[in-house]
Amino acid sequence: MFKKILIANRGEIACRVIKTARRMGMGTVAVYSEADRDARHVSLADEAVAIGPPPSAQSYLVIDRILEACRQTGAEAVHPGYGFLSENSAFCGALEQAGIAFIGPKAHAIESMGDKIASKRIALAAGVNAIPGYTDVVRDADHAVTICREIGYPVMIKASAGGGGKGLRFARNDAEAREGFQSCRAEARSAFGDDRIFIEKFIEEPRHIEIQVLGDAHGNILYLWERECSIQRRHQKVIEEAPSPFLDAATRERMGAQAVALARAVEYQSAGTVEFVVDAKRNFYFLEMNTRLQVEHPVTEMITGLDLVEQMIRVAAGERLAFRQEDLKCDGWAIEARINAEDPFRNFLPSTGRLVRYVSPAEEPGAVRVDTGVYEGGEVSMFYDSLIAKLIVHGATRQQAIERMREALNAFYIRGVSHNIAFVAAVLQHPRFVSGRIHTGLIAEEYPAGFNPADAPPDDPVFLAAIAAFARRRYIDRAVRISGQMPGLGRKVNAQWVVLIGTERYPVAVEPVEGGYRIRHRDTVYDVRSEWRLGEPLFNGTCNGRPFVLQVERRGLKYRIFHWGTQVDAVVMTGRGAELLALMPAKPPPDLSKYLLSPMPGLLTEIAVAPGQEVKAGERLAAIEAMKMENVLKADRDCVVAAVLAKQGESLTVDQPILEFK
């Protein structure tokens, strides 16, 4: 077994690999860019080596620097995590040539499965179901149209070297096929340096279901059940679960057998994933093979009890798998949610900055798990992806897992950057998700105009009003205790209140009881018991005997409450105070229509206009880059530029003015 391994990655996956390596008694080496000098994975490892500037192309993707870090520290093996160099056959070959073990498959397997055209041919030869399509290189747009007509619309136009949603277009007719081919080829050339394109039939209402495989160097290959990854936004996974709520035992067995057959065809050694698209009749077709650990691997670990990182390390060290297919059991249900630094209310634009507060849910072995690479006070950098953490839960049934996930999300407290917790919570309680009637188009269908607060209405707004009344009453009772110790400063406490949430008014009566308060709204009683103290972000307690957790913040006269993805601002007043407030004129918001504001924090990479320039609606004004994403800002009307208020190369904050118009 290895004595020391290097993790050629960053963030949560580096921390996750370090955790297993430490448990196995191995020393660990972290590598880091200048932006990650104070990152969590650096502090967790036994040793750390700087490898270059913040851009990944100058640090985490430079093979020679990873090799030099191995030489400096004496690392015997490298775990690549996922992303970066994890599926780079040249990196694998360079390590082998240097006498350093690659904790992953052999170079030939990576190379074979990394090319979508070649992998599809191998799959067909191995007897794996494949989507009808054209597996040779498409010459030009006219050729693409001819092929699409032969296959039959709708079709998917794909880059052979594509991944992560890049190099992918959908076409329903000749015009879309022609335009899709041209744009897909251009994007593939820019993103991957490989403009080869292929075309295949689009499966209506597809599910994305993948099979986890595991093989060793002694010819043993098996599958570890499946993962349902159909909840996606713009081809990026949001929620994953294992097993799938759609597959039956017979389909599962056939998919597993075909995944193993494909892995055997490339002599696969290590953990890998064979991805399938499944139609409404449970017909399944090979999509691609990921020759690495997947982001969503924890749900498989939850239902099998296996540590996939440990298995990868043991296989790389030459050990045989210690179990057979018949030894594996599928225990319960697991769900994973990706918690990202993005603003769902601003079309999911990236959010960067300091994590002013970061409190993750308490971990419970076998029930709640949090994989993260951040810490309170740390920085979410503009140079890398937006993943803050992965929240994984396990339950005896799917319903129990959903409920456990919702409660855990209530306890996930993040401030300083925007995050997608409200969106994840809304999807989890959507009737289609709860019933298992899902496919990859669910988010696009259910949130066609994006996500907004109205998509996550509170299940019980009166309960939130009761919590606001509890918080207000506890604040007043504390003030009474303090002032009551001073002669002549006694204070009478009202029992009748009005809670204002938006335009709704909730009259409540608050009565102290042992351990809390009894709040009555008309004929409904909320008996809330809690040890919550003012200023604590998490409010744990029971309501009518049932436990709950939510978040409460006092903001001036308001109490901001977060629960099950819902955020409300509540004002608690006396009845007379509420009457007077209703008479106050509303202050109009400032007119910002003359300004172009930055929709997200990021680097201003381009100013495309100058003072005095006339621009037409739709013309390019500026470009901002953050987290590998370029956001082009265009004029929404005809106008004249009055002034440029920011400089190219400047780091912008949200809503910072960039341009002023006349």
Query: What is the set of active-site residues?
Result: 288
Is the Cβ–Cβ distance between 622 and 659 less than 8 Å?
yes
Q: What are phi and psi of 48, to 5 degrees?
A: -145, 140
* Signed CA dihedral, 446, 451, 452, 458: sign only: positive
Dihedral, CA atoms, 122, 124, 127, 132, nearest 10 degrees? 150
Half-sphere exposure of 351 (CA within 13 A, CB side): 21
Instruction: Render 460-503 in DSSP notation, one character per residue.
Output: -HHHHHHHHHHHHHHHHHHHHHHHTTSTT------SEEEEEETT
Is the Cβ–Cβ distance between 34 and 52 less than 8 Å?
yes
| Degrees to nearest 5, angle at CA 295 with 292 and 296 | 110
β-pairing, 284-290 with 270-278? Answer: antiparallel
d(CA 514, CA 529): 8
Sheet of strand 236-242: strand arrangement: 284-290, 270-278, 207-215, 221-233, 236-242, 333-340, 387-395, 368-372
CA 6 to chain centre: 25
d(CA 427, CA 434): 9
β-pairing, 221-233 with 207-215? Answer: antiparallel
Token pair 């918001």 is found at 589
Here the contacts of 548-554 (C-beta below 8 Å, separation 24 or greater) are 548/407, 548/410, 549/407, 549/410, 549/411, 550/410, 550/467, 551/410, 551/413, 552/467, 552/471, 554/471, 554/475
| Degrees to nearest 5, angle at CA 308 with 303 and 313 | 160
Is the Cβ–Cβ distance between 519 and 528 less than 8 Å?
yes
Is the Cβ–Cβ distance between 387 and 12 less than 8 Å?
yes
Distances (CA, A) of 46 to 4, 5, 215, 496: 10, 10, 29, 59
Query: 431: how many CB neighbours lie within 10 A of its CB?
Result: 8
d(CA 208, CA 168): 15
| Degrees to nearest 5, angle at CA 423 with 224 and 532 | 100
| DSSP designation for 20 | H
Whose CA is closest to 10, among 27, 26, 32, 29? 32
Whose CA is closest to 8, among 35, 45, 209, 20? 45
Let me know how long the chain is.
Answer: 662
d(CA 207, CA 205): 7
Is the Cβ–Cβ distance between 423 and 451 less than 8 Å?
yes
